[in-house]
């Protein structure tokens, strides 16, 4: 994707803009801008056979580039536009949320290219969905369609819809085009000033949260121009004490047409807190650091483990828990596409993590969503696996990059360490860190494992943060072919066939291709992702299987006593109890 700042040039009211103004806008030197301009012109020529022309220190913008700006920005020409039912309903809600105009059925039809009946059905479905949150879509002749309900809940739904909208470019393009049409370039202005705050204060942002937050703040600022409902925001004193409050104030100062009430400043502070890494230097967050310690001690007790690098896991948990605290407290839920895979592959650890988060539940006064539990499970799981991989001699250096945050990076790196103990894995880096000039180990890296495509001359393997067994085997083979000993390779299906064909006769009608498919199926049969059908901890620990006593002489007799209800129900036998005691003795 091209540099978003070109939107300031393309959407400029005049077709000519000076180089000095451009360099000030881009905060860069002439040579670096010329590289960006060349990249832009390559994209523009592909889309509309036009380019921005630099002549005598002025840049000239043609009408055709202005007309085709969206195609150039998203790198694709849209011909026939169709939107799914879900995309239409989400966009209708976001239009109602922004209130950029008095909305009628015609406005929805005009944007979404569907009939009046389809729009009315979508509005009915949307009303049904919103009723569970006590939000209503009202129609009045003078005002058109608009939303009513608690303002914080209306915003929380808009935030969740923005997250669901980011699965494909078509949705982003739809929202961006609506913003561009009705509010000039609010999206690009938000992105520009938020990026400046990040750079000025060296904030660490989870890359996957950055784009989502830019769009949400953009539509929120649109709403603030039209609607100033009372928020009733909790913990306002805490929010005003946060170091982030000053940064939110500075950010909003660039939007002169908004009256920045303290409540709105607090809300923007919350948004900044949920997409950035927690600041250990902020004394207002000490209560969360204490909570992290309690959680770690609890998971150590429940899982009967000891974290060697306590400070490391404490900081990593703190970085995640800060954003999680503000998300949960203000109802801004996140998605976790890995949650089902986590619950299958790390069932016991997920259950134990959920139990260990009790101190966090007391702080938030709310149940911790499974998506949040999943990310923290990955964090603990990654550290546990790392401790098991100590003392192995390593040579080649490999880098792990995952823009989904610390938790996903940790589990991804620990899985890779288990698959390739002979590789020396460098700490998981963000994409920005990798591209920065300060990243000194770049030249020493032999390969990169990433969950997203990255421009690099190094050998790149794009993998999922959590892989099933088949994906792991395919990755092992590929890395072995590229870097490691050929002697230990598992032969491919083609290699097996090449070895067998000289010694066998194929029956009439049987082809090599059919034999290939059969062999491939047999080899991969046991490698496919398995669904864990073992009972969940919550299924075993029911009221009639839990035994509470005030005192026991020693831990061995305590284990025997609490195991009695499970033995009586034939869920376990005596040897299982003895095995538990032996396991504790072993550790």
Q: Are residues 299 and 359 in the same domain?
A: yes
pLDDT at 117 over 90: yes
- 27 and 59 part of one domain: yes
pLDDT tens-digit readout, 409-456? 777 888 888 888 878 888 655 666 777 666 667 777 888 898 888 888
Contact yes or no for 417/445 (Cβ under 8 A): no
Is residue 21 in a domain? yes
CATH classification at residue 363: 1.10.1790.10
Q: Which of 45, 74, 103 lies at the terminal end of a domain, its last residue?
A: 74
Do the beta carbons of residue 145 and residue 98 sit within 8 Å? no
Residue 431 maps to a domain? yes
Same domain, 515 and 438: no
In this structure, the answer to whether residues 519 and 546 fall within a common structural domain is: no
Mean pLDDT of 468-480: 82
Low-confidence winner among 318-332, 397-411, 430-444, 472-486 (lowest mean pLDDT): 430-444
Q: How confident is the model at residue 245 (pLDDT cuts 50, 70, 90)?
A: very high
- 3-state DSSP helix/strand/coil % of the chain, to nearest 5: 60, 5, 30
Domain containing 342 equals 283-391
Give 345 or 134, the one with higher predicted confidence. 134
Mean pLDDT of 235-249: 95
SS3 of 428-445: the string is EECHHHHHCCCCHHHHHC
Nearest to 215 by CA among 239, 246, 189, 245: 189
Q: Which residue has the higher pLDDT, 290 or 226?
A: 290
Q: Tell me, what DSSP letter sits at residue 551? A: -
Does residue 484 lie within any of the structural domains?
A: no
User: CA-CA distance, 319 to 408, in Å (whole number)?
Assistant: 13
- Is 460 domain-assigned? yes
Looking at the structure of the chain, the number of domains it has is: 5
How far is it, in rounded angstroms, from Cα 199 to Cα 195? Answer: 6
Q: Alpha-carbon Rg of the chain, whole angstroms?
A: 28
Read off the pLDDT of each residue in 278-300 and give the average, rounded to a whole number.
94
Does 238 map to a domain?
no
Residue 461 host element (H or E): strand 459-462
Q: What is the pLDDT of residue 534?
A: 55
The verdict on residue 232 lying in a domain is no
Decide which of 13, 48, 74 is a domain's last residue.
74
Residues 290 and 351 occupy one common structural domain: yes
Please indicate, yes or no, whether residues 325 and 367 belong to a single structural domain of this protein.
Answer: yes
456/414 same-domain check: yes
DSSP letter at 436?
S
In a domain, 377, yes or no: yes
Domain end: 42, 74, 106, which one? Answer: 74
Q: What phi and psi, each to the nearest 5 degrees, are found at residue 488?
A: -100, 10
**Are 309 and 376 in a shared domain?**
yes
Cα angle, residue 292 at apex, residues 288 and 298 outer, rounded to 5° = 140
Q: Which pLDDT belongs to residue 91?
A: 96
Are 288 and 377 members of one domain? yes
Please give the residue that has the higher pLDDT: either 508 or 124: 124
Torsion angle, alpha carbons of 507, 513, 518, 524, to 10: 160
Confidence of residue 145 (pLDDT cuts 50, 70, 90): very high
Residues 543 and 517 reside in one and the same domain: no
Residue 528, pLDDT above cutoff 70: no
Residues 385 and 409 in one domain: no
For Cα atoms 307, 310, 311, give the angle at the middle one, nearest 5 degrees: 160
Q: What is the pLDDT of residue 93?
A: 98
* pLDDT given at position 537: 58
Of all residues in the chain, the percent with pLDDT exceeding 90 is 41
Does residue 190 lie in a domain region? no
- pLDDT tens string 94-115: 999 999 999 999 999 999 999 9
What is the average pLDDT across 362-374?
A: 94
**Tokens for 103?**
């909305």
Percent of the chain with pLDDT over 70: 87
* Same domain flag for 307 and 351: yes
């Amino acid at each position: 994707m091209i540099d978003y700042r070109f939107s300031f040039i393309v959407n400029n009211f005049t077709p000519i803009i000076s180089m000095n103004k451009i360099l000030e806008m881009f905060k860069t030197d002439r040579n670096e801008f010329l590289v960006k301009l060349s990249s832009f012109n390559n994209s523009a020529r592909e889309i509309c056979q036009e380019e921005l022309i630099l002549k005598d220190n002025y840049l000239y913008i043609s009408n055709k580039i202005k007309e085709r700006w969206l195609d150039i920005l998203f790198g694709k020409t849209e011909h026939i536009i169709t939107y799914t039912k879900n995309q239409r309903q989400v966009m209708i809600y976001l239009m109602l949320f922004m209130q950029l105009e008095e909305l009628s059925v015609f406005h929805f039809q005009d944007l979404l290219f569907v009939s009046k009946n389809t729009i009315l059905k979508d509005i009915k479905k949307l009303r049904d969905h919103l009723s569970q949150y006590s939000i209503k879509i009202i129609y009045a002749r003078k005002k058109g369609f608009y939303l009513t309900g608690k303002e914080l809940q209306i915003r929380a739904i808009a935030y969740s819809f923005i997250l669901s909208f980011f699965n494909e470019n078509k949705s982003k393009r739809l929202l961006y085009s609506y913003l561009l049409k009705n509010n000039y370039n609010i999206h690009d202005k938000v992105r520009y000033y938020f990026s400046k705050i990040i750079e000025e204060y060296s904030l660490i942002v989870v890359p996957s949260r950055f784009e989502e937050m830019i769009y949400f703040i953009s539509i929120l600022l649109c709403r603030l121009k039209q609607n100033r409902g009372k928020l009733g925001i909790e913990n306002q004193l805490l929010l005003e004490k946060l170091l982030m409050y000053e940064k939110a104030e500075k950010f909003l100062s660039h939007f002169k047409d908004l009256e920045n009430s303290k409540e709105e400043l607090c809300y923007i502070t919350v948004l900044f807190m949920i997409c950035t890494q927690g600041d250990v230097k902020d004394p207002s967050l000490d209560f969360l650091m204490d909570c992290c310690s309690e959680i770690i001690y609890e998971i150590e007790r429940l899982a009967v483990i000891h974290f060697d690098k306590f400070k490391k896991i404490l900081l990593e948990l703190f970085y995640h828990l800060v954003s999680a605290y503000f998300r949960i407290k203000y109802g801004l839920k996140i998605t976790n596409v890995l949650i089902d895979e986590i619950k299958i592959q790390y069932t016991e650890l997920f259950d134990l993590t959920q139990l260990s988060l009790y101190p966090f539940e007391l702080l938030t006064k709310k149940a911790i969503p499974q998506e949040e539990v999943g990310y923290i499970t990955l964090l603990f799981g990654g550290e546990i696996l790392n401790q098991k991989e100590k003392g192995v001699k390593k040579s080649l250096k490999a880098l792990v990059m995952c823009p989904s945050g610390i938790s996903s990076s940790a589990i991804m790196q620990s899985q890779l360490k288990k698959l390739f103990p002979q590789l020396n894995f460098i700490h998981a880096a963000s994409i920005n860190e990798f591209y920065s000039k300060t990243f000194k180990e770049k030249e020493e890296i032999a390969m990169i494992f990433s969950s997203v495509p990255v421009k690099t001359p190094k050998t790149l393997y794009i993998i999922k943060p959590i892989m099933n067994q088949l994906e792991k085997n395919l990755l092992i083979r590929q890395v072995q072919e590229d870097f490691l000993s050929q002697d230990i390779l598992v032969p491919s299906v083609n290699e097996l066939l090449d070895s067998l064909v000289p010694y066998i006769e194929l029956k009439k009608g049987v082809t090599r291709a059919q034999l290939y498919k059969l062999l491939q199926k047999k080899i991969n049969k046991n490698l496919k992702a398995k669904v864990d059908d073992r009972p969940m901890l919550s299924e075993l620990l029911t009221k009639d299987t839990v035994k509470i006593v005030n005192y026991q002489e020693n831990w061995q007799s305590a284990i025997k006593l609490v195991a009695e209800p499970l033995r009586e129900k034939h869920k376990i036998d005596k040897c299982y109890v003895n095995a538990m005691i032996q396991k504790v003795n072993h550790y």
